[in-house]
Chains A and B, each alone.
Chain A
Amino acid sequence: MDFSTQAIPRIDPRRPWVLGPSGLKRIVLGDDSGSRDAAMLAHGPAHKPLRSNGPFNQRLLVVAHAERGQLDDAAREAIAAAAILAGKDGEVLALLYGMEDAAPEALAELAVDRALTVADPGYAPEQKLALLQQLLQQESPHTVLFADRGEDADLGRRLACRARLSVVTDVVEIAADGVRRRQPGAGFSLRERAQLLLLARGVAEAKLPFVGKGERLQSAALPAVSEQVQDLGSAASPASELALEEADLIVSAGNGVSNVPGFLALAEALGAAVGASRVAVDDGRFTRDKQVGATGKTVQASAYIALGISGAVQHLQGIKSCRHVIAVNLDAAAPMIKRADLSIIDDCQSFISAFEQLVRRERKEKQV
């Protein structure tokens, strides 16, 4: 056998590399700086660049109401739309109700440059309008954006009529040539971009590749203005009496729940609406109007407690817009566990009875 006496040129398969400006891997032979393992990089903290460092000479104003200290998707999309429309010299100014204790990092993550946070006074449209008009005078934003749903839609319409701003509602598309909204009985209607836009869902992609400056203005008190309409208080009817689509708290049963009376007792103790998966409905344990999912109802609850539901795709579609999902299941590999914010690996029967007793005890203690 004839062996070469020359040293075999060996190449380290994990040799260090750096990422070039074109996004391609660049290997400099003999250089031992750079990364060795892509998988190591992938788990590092995501770093996003600042959208614009200013100086700003124009601004957009976004007004949003937070629910329980958090903005919902519609409000996030409105802020994202403002950040995308702002450009290099444009600033995103936000007036946020009910987010007094938001951290600057959270505001920056929303792509807000400057935020005025005000405690939500509940029903006070005249006071909110007075504050907004002050803000319009001080900051003179060229566009004001609202999400077209709930309190924001109401306040936006009031502001447009009070301050006599040009307005387009239900905007589904913002383009270079104007804004589009759906026209009843026709396709789109295209009109000029107005001073105040009320944005429908899906107008902008809420996931942004940049952050804002996240500065916070001194939180201002609402001006003392008398209200024309008096608020006599609001009441939520018990969730068990509500239609599933309207309920805020839902407990839902699947194939894993065999003790239906016990489950219904838990729903009653918790004051939650009752839902069910397709399997439980087909078995006859629940009526068809309780079914949640693609062929049943689509729900928007803040909290959805799924008991013994494995989480078929069709069911997950029905709970897409639920904020907090809690799953109880014996199978730790079920798709529902991947969707859930909190998962309990336990037998449903024993969990339901334990949870019901706990809820009843805590309620009683609260009353005393």
Chain B
Amino acid sequence: MKIAVLVSPAVHPVSGRPCAGEADLAALALAQRLPGELQVWYAGAADDAALADYLARGAGTIHSLNLSPDSDVLSALGSALQGVDMVLCGARSGGGDGSGLLPYQLAEQLGAALLPDVLDLSKSDRQWRAVQALPKGVRRTLQASLPLVASVNPRAATAPGWSYARLQQGKIRRKAATGAALAPVVLEPSRRARALVAASKVSGHARMQGAIAGGDAKAAGVVVKQGDSVEKAQVVLDYLRQHQLVDF
């Protein structure tokens, strides 16, 4: 079985220098636990220093597709990954666009099953089972057959620590590639984002009244003072049941 792990350098939140992305490292560590032939791929314009963290944390050899900074990685990666059974990547890269779109685009292009935000992967018979992380601590188990594309949650696995020996032994194999041009982007300095607000034609007086009466704002809560503790406990349980907050 051929496994490909996609990595890309992230921007360090404090220093702003390139470093290994958390989710990509988790994907690398998860792939190393699986049986199969592992290849690490990168597509983009980063130099050796930006990829060094991955080598130092156990990537071995990184296959790099050299693209110009303003071109799309999708077509180059898509053709390089033909014939790969399983593609693992971080749920979101910490650099570049960080849009989280790549696994979706790759799954569509390769015709593979998509397993988003995976915490664990295991084999059962001929199929693969993935545990997906959902909000509020819910874990969903999904089953799919190869080929598949999985985006990996940063908490899925921990990569080995940084090692100078591994960095020295690691190799980056570079290959030129071409990609479609990305839509033009204008970079601007950071500031507070302005929310869309509906133009309101009401008078100042009406706005003041809205502030007093609350308009459609949340109605004040119910206050229960009557009864003993047992009755009050029943009120709370009724409230929890009414809003389906408990399952009994």
Residues of A within 8 A of B (CB): 19, 21-25, 38, 41-44, 46, 48, 68, 80-81, 83-85, 109, 123, 149-150, 153-154, 157-158, 160-162, 166-167, 169-170, 172-175, 180, 182-192, 202-205, 207-210, 228-237, 239, 242-243, 246-249, 270, 300, 302-303, 305, 324-326, 328, 332, 337-347, 350-351, 353-355, 357-359, 362-363, 366
Contacts and interface: CB of A to CB of B under 8 A. Distances in A.
A24 B204 CA distance: 8
A242 B104 CA distance: 29
Contacts, number: 251
B206 to A, nearest CB: 7
Contact of B236 (A175, A203, A342, A357): A342
A300 B135 CA distance: 10
Interface residues of B, number: 81
Nearest to B105: A161
Contacts of B229: 346-347, 350-351, 353-355
Contacts of B184: 191-192
Nearest to A70: B243
B198 A80 contact: yes
Most buried by B among A23, A300, A357: A23
B16 to A, nearest CB: 6
Pick the most buried of A19, A209, A210, A362: most chain B CB atoms within 10 A of its CB. A209
Interface string B83-110: 0000000000011111111001101100
A22 to B, nearest CB: 7
Given A123-B140, A341-B221, A355-B233, A46 B113 contact: no
A367 to B, nearest CB: 8
A249 B183 CA distance: 44
Interface string B218-233: 0011111100111011
Interface stretch (B35-43, B61-69, B187-195): B187-195
Interface of B: 10-11, 16, 94-101, 104-105, 107-108, 113-116, 129, 134-144, 183-191, 193-198, 200-206, 209-210, 212-213, 215-216, 220-225, 228-230, 232-237, 239-240, 243-246, 248
A345 B225 contact: yes
6 contacts: A160-B104, A187-B191, A229-B143, A233-B141, A339-B221, A355-B233
Given A209-B200, A347-B229, A270 B193 contact: no
A231 B142 contact: yes
A328 B98 CA distance: 44
Closest A-B pairs by Cβ, 6 of them = A23-B203, A185-B11, A187-B190, A234-B140, A204-B196, A354-B229
Given A166-B183, A188-B190, A358 B235 contact: no
A12 to B, nearest CB: 20
A21 B202 CA distance: 9
Nearest to B226: A345
Contacts of A233: 140-141
B34 to A, nearest CB: 18
| B interface: dominant SS | mixed
B135 A46 contact: no
B153 to A, nearest CB: 12
Contacts of A68: 243-244
Contacts of B212: 42
Contacts of B101: 157, 160-161, 167, 169
A192 B188 CA distance: 14
B245 A249 contact: yes
Contacts of A242: 137
Contacts of B239: 324, 326, 341-342
Given A161-B101, A172-B193, A233-B141, A326 B108 contact: no
Given A191-B185, A202-B195, A22 B115 contact: no
A38 to B, nearest CB: 7
B136 A205 contact: no
A178 to B, nearest CB: 8
A23 B129 CA distance: 64
A203 B209 contact: no
Contacts of A243: 137
B129 A232 contact: yes
A346 B144 CA distance: 53
Contact of B216 (A109, A161, A203, A248): A109
Nearest to A149: B135
Contacts of B96: 184
B141 A232 contact: yes
A209 B198 contact: yes
A346 B205 CA distance: 41
Contact of B223 (A232, A248, A345): A345
A270 B246 CA distance: 8
Given A234-B139, A248-B137, 11 more contacts: A19-B206, A68-B244, A169-B97, A174-B196, A191-B186, A192-B183, A202-B195, A205-B195, A210-B198, A237-B137, A351-B233
